Amino acid sequence: MKAKSDNTYFVRALWDDEAKVYVSESDIKGLHIEAETLEDFEAVIFEHAGEFVIENHFP
C-alpha cells in the first residue's frame, strides 16, 4: 500500500560565493546538495529528493 501525504516540501538553491557552488536549503531531512550549476543541482533533486522524503518523513 502506498503512503499518502498531503505534506509539501521545499528545496531552495542558494549561491555560496565563497565556495562558488549552489547549496541547498530544504525541509527534507538528510538532503544536502552542492552543485556548480543549477542544472546539476536540479538533477540531484530529481534523482534523490523523493528517496529522502520516503526514508525520513514516513514511519
Give whole-number Cα distances, 58 to 2, 41, 45, 50, in Å: 11, 24, 19, 11
Is residue 36, in this structure, part of any structural domain at all? yes
Q: What's the pLDDT score for residue 3?
A: 52
> Is position 37 within any domain?
yes
In a domain, 2, yes or no: no
The enclosing domain of 26 has a CATH number of 3.30.2390.10
Of the candidates 27, 24, 28, 19, the residue with the CA atom closest to the CA atom of residue 41: 24
When pLDDT is cut at 50, 70 and 90, the band that residue 1 belongs to is very low
Total number of domains in the chain:
1
Tell me the residue range of the domain where 38 lies: 11-57
Half-sphere exposure of 45 (CA within 13 A, CB side): 19
Q: What does pTM read for this prediction?
A: 0.80
In a domain, 35, yes or no: yes
DSSP code of residue 28: S
